[in-house]
Structure 1
Amino acid sequence: MRQEKSRPIIAVTMGDPAGIGPEIVIKALLDEEIYTIAQPLIIGSINILKKTAEIVGMEVTINKVSTPYEAVFKKGVLNVIEPVEDPCESIQFGVIQAKAGILAYEYIKKAIELGMNKQVNAVATAPINKEALKAAGVNFIGHTEIFAALTNSEYALTMFAVRNLRVFFVSRHLSLRDACNFVTKKTVLKFLVNINKELMRLGIKNPRIAVAALNPHAGDGGLFGREEIEHLHPAIQAAKEMGINAVGPVPADSIFYLGLLGNYDAILSLYHDQGHIACKTLDFERSITITLGLPFIRSSVDHGTAFDIAGKGIASPISMKEAIRLAAEYSLMLQH
């Protein structure tokens, strides 16, 4: 692999070709700063990229390659691996299409193949559309599930990274009622064990992991719910007995502020919105998803395909650039 230790090779998937993925990828990779930290390689469709470049009024040189070895990593050159040769003439921006779902899935599969073969150091993904995947007959709900299955990983941990916060989630796509029921001693302890393992893989020694409370004031001794007494405290105590530096439960209205101050290496949020609201309020565009537990690092923007503005040339690339930057940063941590 032609790489420099300080500039890892990052596979950048184009996402759903009918969404804003192609646009934000092009805009991100025309920023010279990206090339000081990474060597980016697009996995996508050349005709869609050419069409998008015309829409945004940017001149690009597309270098079609079969492997990263053939890439020329410099600003203005878009190195592209095209897993499926297709004119993409039927793809319409801003419309849910089975064809787009199929292509998006093929981009992901190719990026995973490169990661598994150690031809790239990490993968940064542009957004996909769940309805398009379903229309395409892809039996996965999203990126995390695809990456976990196709890499045969025991687990895949979703972590939000924004500024100096690292936030993990006990549950993500569950109703609030189901998410509360999912908070058990067994589940929380399993997450603490896996989080501790992954942070140590990144070179963080004896990571301090804070667990968010579920109820107001951490239940106030059972006055506002018993989940802290019956599940969270026992899980944290069991983790401590295993040598894990776990603390809490810390009231959710304080834990993220304390984490921002640097009191913790990571926070375990108990459900989707508990952590998402805090991170996205802090910095919406720079809240990036990192998937840990895979053989390589995967990062992603944390916004959708934005079909309402797709093909209009007005999408912001900030989140895509941040996803590439963090993919490079965390892949280097993994190599420590």
Structure 2
Amino acid sequence: MSDILGITMGDPAGVGPEITIKALAEMTPEERTKTRVFGNLATLEAAQKAVGTSIDLSGLVEDVDIPGAPLPWGQLSHAAGDAAFRFIETAVRAAQDGSIGCIVTAPINKESLNAAGHHYDGHTGMLRTLTGSDAAYMLLASERLEVIHVSTHVSLKDAIERVTPEQVLVTIRAGYEHMRRMGVESPRIAVAGLNPHCGENGLFGNEDIEKIKPAVAMAHDEGMNVEGPISADTVYYRAYQGEFDLVIAQYHDQGHIPIKLIAFDSTVNVSVGLPIDRTSVDHGTAFDIAGTGKANHTNMKAAIAYARKLVAGRYTS
């Protein structure tokens, strides 16, 4: 398996090209030899002008054609959405054939993506389809808090319905295996409750008793160090203080809000459970500042650093 990282440029009308260029500019020459960008050369050259760099992009870019590129900055379009999809599709094929070891994704715009006829809720669903995977899980990683989600881009009503013993258990398993891969020998896992105060023994709902507690018991039986359900209004603080290595969040906002509060610029989105590795920035396309050179690339650098850890872990495990 290759140790080359493949960066997908993201929506060509967003800040993805700029944060990609800024990250490349701060790499050492050796790091650049282990990096390939799946994007559009004309757009990346326009991004260079916007940020004021002059990197030699020859040999770095897997150039995917976009008619009329570079497209206008900050504008929704089906052309941009289709291009973003094709960048990812090309990178997935490269990961599957072993040409790259991990994909790092810049942000895409879901509205543009769907306007182009690619009907996905985001990167994770798209990657699951492209790789033929039955499931994939969103894990958010920061220096002092890591969270994996039972469900992500669904309505709150649907999220509640997806809290089943089986789904909670497979999420625990996925998080456990990922933390082990990252070097945590016996991960301490906390499972957040669904209802306020975990339902107060049925006073505010029975889901925690009937659906989450059995999953935790089964995980214990499999030898995992798991505790829960724990009230969501305290579990993240306890994990942040070092009591747990990973929190199982029951739905999107329950996991995203605490980690974005403490590490908005440095949280890395990691896809767990796929046959390929993928990390991502955890922010959007920021159309309002696209093309201005103002985009902060801290999150992109964090995603690249985490990807390099994944690749290195494969060779040392």
Task: Say if 2:289 is the partner of 1:312.
Answer: no
Is the CA contact (8 Å cut-off) linking 1:38 and 1:328 kept in structure 2? Answer: no
Offset at 1:201? Answer: 4.3
Offset at 1:296? Answer: 2.6
1:51 aligned to which of 46, 55, 74: 46
How far, CA to CA, are the matches of 2:203 and 2:311 in structure 1?
A: 45
Once the two structures are superposed, the pairs formed by residues 19-168 of structure 1 within 5 Å of their partners are 19-32=14-27, 39-63=34-58, 65=59, 79-82=60-63, 84-86=64-66, 88-89=68-69, 91-168=71-148
Indicate the residue corresponding to 2:185 in structure 1. 205
How far, CA to CA, are the matches of 1:97 and 1:224 in structure 2?
A: 45
Is the CA contact (8 Å cut-off) linking 1:21 and 1:126 kept in structure 2? Answer: yes
Offset at 1:86? Answer: 4.1
Shifted more, 183-192 versus 98-107: the winner is: 183-192
Amino acid at match of 2:210: E
Is the CA contact (8 Å cut-off) linking 1:173 and 1:272 kept in structure 2? Answer: yes
Task: Say if 2:174 is the partner of 1:194.
Answer: yes
How far, CA to CA, are the matches of 1:80 and 1:37 in structure 2?
A: 11
How far, CA to CA, are the matches of 2:11 and 2:298 in structure 1?
A: 18
Q: What whole-Å deviation, never above 9, does each CA across 1:203-249 have from its counterpart, x for those lacking one?
A: 54332221001222222222332222122112211221222222111
How far, CA to CA, are the matches of 2:191 and 2:55 in structure 1?
A: 47
Number of residue pairs the alignment of both structures matches: 316
Amino acid at match of 1:242: E
How far, CA to CA, are the matches of 2:172 and 2:124 in structure 1?
A: 19
Distance 1:90 1:203, change over 3 A: closer
How far, CA to CA, are the matches of 2:314 and 2:133 in structure 1?
A: 16
Q: What whole-Å deviation, never above 9, does each CA across 1:3-60 have from its counterpart, x for those lacking one?
A: 7xxxx32101100101111011001111146966983211111111111111222222
Offset at 1:310? Answer: 0.9
Q: What whole-Å deviation, never above 9, does each CA across 1:85-133 have from its counterpart, x for those lacking one?
A: 3463361111111111111111101111111111111110001111111
How far, CA to CA, are the matches of 1:254 and 1:166 in structure 2?
A: 15
SS at match of 1:221: coil
Offset at 1:197? Answer: 3.5
Is the CA contact (8 Å cut-off) linking 1:10 and 1:38 kept in structure 2? Answer: no
Unaligned runs of 5+ in 1: 66-78
SS at match of 2:118: coil
How far, CA to CA, are the matches of 2:108 and 2:267 in structure 1?
A: 17
Indicate the residue corresponding to 2:210 in structure 1. 230
Is the CA contact (8 Å cut-off) linking 1:11 and 1:41 kept in structure 2? Answer: yes
Is the CA contact (8 Å cut-off) linking 2:191 and 2:248 kept in structure 1? Answer: yes
How far, CA to CA, are the matches of 2:72 and 2:202 in structure 1?
A: 55
SS at match of 1:49: helix
After TM superposition, the score normalised by the length of structure 2 is: 0.92
